Structure 1
Amino acid sequence: MQKKIFVIAACLAFALACGSALSAQTAAPASPSSASSTPSAAALTEQGLAALKLNQSQQALDDFQQALQANPNDVAANLLASTAALNLYKGDLAVQYAEKARQLDPDNWKVHTTLVAAYAAAGKKEQRDNERETLRKLHADPQARDAMQTSGFLLEIFPVKQYRVEAVEYFKPVGKFRVYYRFVLRNAQGKRVWQIDAESNDFDQKSWAAAHPEDAAAGNRQFQLVGDDAATHTDYRMFSGMPDYDLIRKQVVTVIEEQTKPFPGESAP
């Protein structure tokens, strides 16, 4: 079975999982004190999930916030509220809900996948990088089976021009071209229109290392930024060094800002 990336911004798989949990909660006998409030909170969360799937993030956030007024200790609702806030570029609010979820369920690795993107959105780089390290440790932990089965995680969501960019970090480079980071571009409707990969394939690395032995010995590599969809490939630029996310992110932003024509996915039917 191929490993799948848990991209919480897209949230469909997680939303379904949360929906199943909510259904189970609704089916369970309610105590007399919660009989009137629990169905209302569950219904609001289900409503928010539906809005989130339709790319209606503000409506989803409103629904999750109402659900949390009735049940502030619902881990799933806090995580989903954080996800909706991320989609709206409300970093501080995303942190608020993700940290609440961590307080309630500190051993849930999905909480950490949400926290890393929330801290990135809020500009909290130290906390972001601490969460990245936590995720790497969980990925290597045989006891954390869900984390081990993923190939990467959503690191950040940020806007550039009219696009929403979702930055994915891989635990280990993937594919024959050894992709370290993938930046997925979506339009206002949430449609994926392009992707930009930061890759460093072993074939080019061998010749680069022969020409730059000291840099290679220090752990540096030659990287390429490339754009791809099903039918089009674009080479943007090459650079050498370490796979530093913030430096690569700056280059990706420059590529997008310099783009004067629609990306190939924007003209597709």
Structure 2
Amino acid sequence: NVLYMAGQLGLYPPTMTLTKGGAVAELELALQNSEAVAKSFNCSISTSSVLLVVYCSESIPSSERGKIQDKLEAFLKQIRSSSTKEGKLSKVLDHLSLYVLVPDLPKRALVEVKPLLYNVDDAETITEGKSLTRTGNQSFQHEGWHDTCINRCIVNGTICALVMSVTNETAVRLCSEFLSANRKSEDIQNLISERQMDRISRFCVYLLDKILAENSFFWEEIVSLRVYYPVSLHIPLDALSLLFKNALEELAEMHRQPIFNIIPVLGAGSSTTMDDLITCELFAQRT
């Protein structure tokens, strides 16, 4: 029931040329194209989306990026409203959105949309899994603010999608002994060393593991784990990859380490500010 849709651009199908009118116009057409593909599989991006990844070209002015997020939510709301009027509205998943800033896109597009859909059968009931008890990382004690770092979409104990954001504020909380004096700095990324990133990477794995356990998922059921980091972060890719590898190896319950990808980007996050220090995108499926 999972549909991994290829990235959709704002192309007119007859001519395969980009629409004119800028990023918002391209996004709208890309969403229309995504909806057309979804309908061919008897679902809709407005109700069946687990995760919507929106790639934004750095060519988009900063002042225009907020309009992209507004347009996405307005488009989905409009489809749901139309389906309700037609009596066709099915169960609605509480989808996640992830925005990624990149240097360029195919055909010099400004926006690309990549939906991940789960077609919920009308007979299914959307439920959450039962919690597991496991050791986890003892370096961290749960605090209320941890929940603000992560968004989740759990479906029927079968699908688990997580988007975790480590912001400048999160980094200051985690590395207070070093960064607290620079709390107001807008240049935290330049202050992060491998030592601080080691603690941040362990926190990411701790919190991802906690949410997986709460919903009865195991690391062996992970389909993909992507870690986005800004190229402005002065830590080599190999070093960052090793830090996450070591953090994952500390989980005693893990029988095999999941494959993960460290992806350098210009920016990423759950909003179009795309200013996270680290963004983790996880998808797990129980078969």
Q: TM-score, length-normalised on structure 1?
A: 0.29
Structure with the higher fraction of residues in strand conformation: 2
Q: TM-score, length-normalised on structure 2?
A: 0.28
Higher relative contact order (CA 8 A, sep 6+): 2
Structure with the higher fraction of residues in helix conformation: 1
